[in-house]
Structure 1
Amino acid sequence: MPVKIGTIDLGAFPLLLAPMEDVSDPPFRYVCKQNGADLMYTEFISSEGLIRDAAKSLQKLDIFEYERPIGIQIFGSNIESMREATVIATKAGPDLIDINYGCPVKNVACRGAGASLLQDIDRMVAMTKAVVESTHLPVTVKTRLGWDDNTKNVFEVAERLQDVGIKALTIHGRTRAQMYKGSADWSMIRDIKRNPFIEIPIFGNGDVDSVEKAANWRMEYEVDGIMIGRAAIGYPWIFREIKHFFATGEHLAGPTIAERIENCLTHLQKSIEWKGEKTGIFEMRRHYSNYFKGLHDFKEFRMRLVTSDSQNTIIEILEEVKEKYETEMA
C-alpha cells in the first residue's frame, strides 16, 4: 500500500529529508533528490518574516520542479501571522505546507514558536486549524515527544491535530529539553502508530544514520516512513543505500572518491546558479568537510577549499583531491 499525504503518492515506505536551518536549501535538496529522497522540505521559514517581506524568508520560498513533492515549512507564535504566512507560502506553489512545532533552539522556542507550543496544546490546535483553513494544500506537522520528560504529550497532540485536518505527522523522538542530546526514543512513536484512532501517516525522525537502523526501526517501530536529517549532510547517498537494502537485503557500496567529487561539484554548481558566484561559493564552504569526512590528511585541502573564492580554483583543488585519494585507495 502506498503512503499518501492527501493525493501525494510517496510510494510504499518513503524516506523524507528533514528541514534543516542553513542546510536544506535548493542546492542541497537537489543532491538529496538525485540520491533518492522521496519528500523534502524547505528550511523553516518565519511567518513574521514572510509577512514583512524579509528577503531571507522570501528566498527560502524558492522551489523548483525537480524537487517535487516539496513542502514549505513555516513557524511562528502568532495565529493570525501563521494564517497570513500560509496564504503567502501557498502562492509559492509547494505540494504541501508543514508546521514546525519541534524546533528546540532558544530564539525560536523561547519566543513562543517551534517546540514551545508543546506547552500549550490548545493554542497549537487553534494555530493548526487556522493554517489548515487557509490553504487548499495538505498540511503536515513536525513535532517532538513533548517539552520535557514530565510532559510527553505527543499522543494527545497526534489525535487532536488529526481532528483539525493535518494529513501526516513527523515525530522527532526527543523532548525539547533534550535538544539533540542523548538518544532518540521511538517507542512513543510506535504507540501513536498503533493508536486505532490515528489514520494519517506517522513518520519517525531522530538518529537514523545507517542502513541497519533504518531497516530495524522500520520493523520495530512500525512507522510509515523515516525522516533523515543530520546523517544526510555531506552524505546524500544514505537515501539510495537504504532503498537498495530495502529492495535487495544487500549493502550498496559507499560512494567512490570520484562520486564524492562529482556530487560536491554538482552541489557547488547548483549553489552558484541559485545565489550567484560569490554567495554560492561562500555558502558551500560549510559542506566540504562533510563530503570528505574520513579521508586522512584532508585538512590542508579543506583549508584551501574554504578560503578560495573562485569556482575554477575550487574545481582544480577537487581534481587534486581526486588524484591523491584515488591513487591511495587503488
Structure 2
Amino acid sequence: MVKIDQISLPDFPLLLAPMEDVSDPPFRMVCKENGADLMYTEFISSEGLIRDAIKSRRKLDIFDYERPIGIQIFGGDEESLALAAKIVDVTNPDLLDINFGCPVKKVAGKGAGAGVLKDLDLMVRLTDAVVKSTRLPVTVKTRLGWDDQSKNIEEVAERLQDVGIKALSIHGRTRAQMYKGEADWTLIAKVKNNPRIKIPIFGNGDIDSPQKALAYKNKYGVDGIMIGRAAIGYPWIFREIKHFVQTGELMAAPTVEERVNVCRQHLRKSIEWKGPIVGINEMRRHYANYLKGLPGIKDYRNRLVTLKTMEEVEAVLDEVAVNYKDFVMERQAIELVNYHENCPL
C-alpha cells in the first residue's frame, strides 16, 4: 500500500496526469472506470480563482465517484497561491497539488509552472505558503530542472519535503526539452533512493505500454507512475498495466465496439457537463485517438468533427462499430500471438 498522508492507494498506483484541456470530468470518468487510482483536475490559475474567472471556477468541479482526487493549482505569487489554496479547500478534494512543471510559454514565461524551476528559493516559499494555508495534504508535480545545466530535482525533493509536501511527481524532462526527446528516469530513481526522502515518489514521462510500465517499475523503483498522453483516447492503458504487472500477461486490446461505447460515454458526459454546443465541439479533439489504428478511418473522423448534434455523432459511431467489428478481432489475435512469440520467459 502507498500512502499520501492519510490517503491509502494500492501498491504501485497509477495516476492520471493533470492535462490542460484534457483532464476534465468527462475524461476523468472514463479513466477512473478503467483503473486510474488517483486523478488530478486540469491545472487552475491561482489568479483566475481569485478573480472568480468562470473557466477557473468550473475546473473545481469534482464528483464523489472520482475519489481520491486532487485539484491542481499554479501561480508565481505566494499570496495568490495561498488564497487559491483556501478557495480549493472549501471544495473538499482529497488533496491539493501544485504545478511546477508546465513548460508552455504562457505559464512558464510568467514565472509559474516550470518557470519556478529557475528560482528554487521561490519554489520553496510558494510551497510553504500553500501548505500553511490548507488542511489538505499538498503534493507537487515538477520536472528535473529548467535545462541540462540546472537539473536540481534532488535538492528540490528534499527541500519541498522539509516544508511539508506529502508526495512528489516528477516528469523526467527539463523545461527546455518541453515534450521532446526521451524522458530520463535516472534522476527520478536517485530521488526515490535518497534515504532522506520518506514521501512517495511518482515517475512520469513516456509510459505508453504495460511492458514499459513494468520495466520502469522494476528498474527505477518508484512508488507508482503517472500517465498522461498515453491515456488520451485510450483509457484502457490503466487496466492493461495493472493486469500485466499482476500476471505478466497482456490483456486483449479493446474491441472496436468497446472503443465506440467508451467514446460514446465520454461524449454524453461531455454534453452533460458542458452543454450541447461546447460539449460536442470539445469532444472533437478525442475522436482521432479513440479510433486510432483503424484503416480507412479518416472519412469517419472527418465527418465526426463537423457534426453538431449528439444523435448525428452517435449514428456515425454506430457505423464504425458495425463496419470494423471483424477487423479488430483479427488484429487482437495477431497482437497476442506476436507478443507470446517474442516475450522473454
* TM category, shorter: over 0.9
Residue of structure 1 in register with 2:333 after alignment: none
Is 1:147 the counterpart of 2:146? The answer is yes
CA deviation after TM superposition for structure 1 residue 226, in Å: 0.2
CA deviation after TM superposition for structure 1 residue 112, in Å: 0.4
CA deviation after TM superposition for structure 1 residue 15, in Å: 0.2
Residue of structure 1 in register with 2:39 after alignment: 40
CA deviation after TM superposition for structure 1 residue 279, in Å: 1.1
CA deviation after TM superposition for structure 1 residue 276, in Å: 1.1
Residue of structure 2 in register with 1:97 after alignment: 96
Counterpart-to-counterpart distance in 1, 2:6 and 2:262: 32
Aligned partner of residue 227 in structure 1, secondary structure: strand
CA deviation after TM superposition for structure 1 residue 197, in Å: 0.3
Residue of structure 2 in register with 1:57 after alignment: 56
Counterpart-to-counterpart distance in 2, 1:137 and 1:84: 14
Residue of structure 2 in register with 1:78 after alignment: 77
The residue identity in structure 2 corresponding to 1:309 is K
Counterpart-to-counterpart distance in 1, 2:130 and 2:4: 16
Residue of structure 2 in register with 1:217 after alignment: 216
Residue of structure 1 in register with 2:335 after alignment: none
The residue identity in structure 2 corresponding to 1:34 is E
The superposition leaves residues 204-243 of structure 1 with CA deviations (integer Å, 9 ceiling, x where unpaired) of 0000001111000001000000000000000000000000
* CA RMSD of superposed structures (Å): 0.7
Counterpart-to-counterpart distance in 2, 1:329 and 1:147: 43
Aligned partner of residue 140 in structure 2, secondary structure: strand
Counterpart-to-counterpart distance in 2, 1:109 and 1:313: 40
Counterpart-to-counterpart distance in 2, 1:208 and 1:259: 23
1:166-245 matches, cutoff 5 A: 166-245=165-244
CA deviation after TM superposition for structure 1 residue 329, in Å: 4.5
Residue of structure 1 in register with 2:7 after alignment: 8
Residue of structure 1 in register with 2:342 after alignment: none
Aligned partner of residue 203 in structure 2, secondary structure: strand
CA deviation after TM superposition for structure 1 residue 327, in Å: 4.0
Residue of structure 2 in register with 1:135 after alignment: 134
Identical-residue share of aligned pairs (%): 67
CA deviation after TM superposition for structure 1 residue 10, in Å: 0.7
The superposition leaves residues 103-138 of structure 1 with CA deviations (integer Å, 9 ceiling, x where unpaired) of 000000010001111111111101100000111110
Residue of structure 1 in register with 2:338 after alignment: none
Aligned partner of residue 39 in structure 2, secondary structure: strand
Counterpart-to-counterpart distance in 2, 1:153 and 1:245: 33
Residue of structure 2 in register with 1:163 after alignment: 162
> Runs of 5+ in structure 1 lacking a partner?
none
- More deviation in 95-104 or 277-286? 277-286
Q: TM-score, normalised by structure 1?
A: 0.99
User: How many aligned residue pairs are there?
Assistant: 329
Counterpart-to-counterpart distance in 1, 2:163 and 2:255: 48
The residue identity in structure 1 corresponding to 2:250 is H
CA deviation after TM superposition for structure 1 residue 278, in Å: 1.3
The superposition leaves residues 49-107 of structure 1 with CA deviations (integer Å, 9 ceiling, x where unpaired) of 00000001000000011110000000001110000000011111110000000000000
Aligned 8 A contact 2:255 2:328 in 1: no
Aligned partner of residue 236 in structure 1, secondary structure: coil
CA deviation after TM superposition for structure 1 residue 328, in Å: 4.2
Counterpart-to-counterpart distance in 2, 1:167 and 1:102: 17
Residue of structure 2 in register with 1:309 after alignment: 308
Aligned partner of residue 324 in structure 2, secondary structure: helix
The superposition leaves residues 147-188 of structure 1 with CA deviations (integer Å, 9 ceiling, x where unpaired) of 000000010000000000000000000000000000000000
The residue identity in structure 1 corresponding to 2:246 is A
Per the alignment, do residues 329 and 230 of structure 1 end up closer, same or farther by CA in structure 2, a change over 3 Å counting? closer
Residue of structure 1 in register with 2:276 after alignment: 277
CA deviation after TM superposition for structure 1 residue 266, in Å: 0.5
Residue of structure 1 in register with 2:323 after alignment: 324
Counterpart-to-counterpart distance in 2, 1:178 and 1:29: 27
1:98-117 matches, cutoff 5 A: 98-117=97-116
CA deviation after TM superposition for structure 1 residue 254, in Å: 0.6
Aligned 8 A contact 2:107 2:113 in 1: yes
Counterpart-to-counterpart distance in 2, 1:127 and 1:120: 11
The superposition leaves residues 249-300 of structure 1 with CA deviations (integer Å, 9 ceiling, x where unpaired) of 1100010001001100100011011011111111111000000001111111
Counterpart-to-counterpart distance in 2, 1:315 and 1:57: 30
Is 1:18 the counterpart of 2:20? The answer is no
Counterpart-to-counterpart distance in 1, 2:83 and 2:251: 46
Counterpart-to-counterpart distance in 1, 2:147 and 2:328: 47
Aligned partner of residue 307 in structure 1, secondary structure: coil
Aligned partner of residue 90 in structure 1, secondary structure: helix
Counterpart-to-counterpart distance in 2, 1:222 and 1:284: 37
